[in-house]
Amino acid sequence: MIDVHRLRVLHEVAQHGSFNRAATALRCTPSAVSQQIAALERTLGTPVVQRSTRGVTLTASGRLLVEAAENITAELDHARARIDRLTSGSVRFTVATFASGGRRLLPPALTEVCAAHPEVELTILEREPEDSLPLVRSGRADVALAYHFDGPPPGRGERSGLIWTPLAEDPLWLVLPAGHKYADAPAVHLADLAAERWVLGCLKTADLLQRYATLAGFELRVSCSATDYFFAASLVAAGVGVSLIPQVALDQLPPGLAVVPLEAPRPARHIGVAVARRADRPAQAYLDTLTRALFTGSPESFAWNVRR
């Protein structure tokens, strides 16, 4: 029988790429880590890691075990969260959300939840998707309002532990100083902006924009990589550069800006709702109310006025 503690040790080795760093994370010695991995390999009758002077890599068997370890850990964390909920005596509901979506989409939905369920104790966590989705998977949050860019949505497949429901497409708009030569253009192709300097309001936008810039045949020049779209827009208004800002974050831009659509291919965020496949029964009513309200107030239902 596979020892769960040894699976945890293997998971740390996979995360850190060496016995020494895994030992530091586990607060034990590298020798103890090595012994646990060797015992796991004896149990299985096959190597789970490949050792070299450059560190440790997983074998195919090791990768399968790490995936199993992640699923087991998530299930145990989820069970612990449910037990804490049962023993606390209070009715709690936790929502994780990214900032711009939370500011624009979440308050009206939460108003409906509070009105329909005054007994619930709400907790709101501001988290980016890479942090909010694991919270839902482990049971530390009941639902995540999240997004992804290109590629498949998160939560695809039974092994993810999540159910992902698409909510709306959130296209990125070109934001320019009001006096820019393209300020009155009906649309702009990204290749026409090859000489521009860029102000980014989200670190993940940099990778996305770089891919699109490569397709358009130029190298991205970045003046500022910020973590706040309003700050980025303020820098654009000051003449520092141009920016791409999601539609959901365009409702409170400072004056002195023009907002113009990009021609295809046009980057976009895809907003959705993630819940655990094994949602708590007491939380299901709150989930139903929240998701229904989110879909009612999704970006696609708003009358956007984004041209400045």
Q: For the domain that residue 287 is a member of, what is the CATH number? A: 3.40.190.10
Q: Which of 36, 71, 106 is the last residue of a domain?
A: 71
Full pLDDT tens readout for the chain, 308 residues? 788 788 888 888 888 888 888 888 888 998 888 898 998 888 888 998 888 777 788 998 888 888 877 777 766 666 666 666 666 555 778 899 999 888 888 888 888 888 888 888 889 999 999 899 988 888 888 889 999 987 777 755 555 678 888 888 899 999 999 999 999 999 999 999 999 999 998 888 888 888 889 988 999 899 999 888 999 999 999 999 999 999 988 887 889 999 999 998 888 999 999 988 766 555 677 777 887 777 765 544 433 444 44
Question: Quick check: helix, strand or coil at residue 96?
Answer: strand
Phi, psi values for residue 304, rounded to 5°? -75, 140
C-alpha 126/C-alpha 124 separation (Å) is 7
Examine the domain organization and report whether 176 and 224 are in the same domain. Answer: yes
**Claim to verify: residue 260 and residue 179 sit in the same structural domain:** yes
Q: How many domains does the chain have?
A: 3
Q: How many CA atoms lie within 13 A of 301 on its CB side?
A: 9
Domain that holds residue 12: 4-71
Q: How far apart are CA 71 and CA 159, in angstroms?
A: 7
The helix/strand count (H/E) of the chain reads as: 10, 11
State the Cα–Cα distance between residues 117 and 110, nearest whole angstrom. Answer: 10
The overall pTM is greater than 0.75: no
Q: How far is CA 121 from the centre of its chain?
A: 24
Residue with tokens 């296209």, as numbered in its chain: 171
- Supply the pLDDT for residue 185: 96
Q: Tell whether 306 is covered by a domain.
A: no
Secondary element (H or E) of residue 222: strand 222-225
Are residues 114 and 55 part of one domain? no
**Integer CA distances (angstroms), 15 to 64, 66, 180, in order:** 14, 10, 47
The alpha carbon of residue 203 and the mean position of all alpha carbons in its chain are separated, in whole angstroms, by: 12
Please check whether residues 143 and 182 belong to one and the same domain: no
Euclidean distance between CA atoms 8 and 36, whole angstroms: 10
Boundary (domain end) residue, out of 54, 71, 88: 71
Q: Residue 162: beta bridge partners?
A: 276
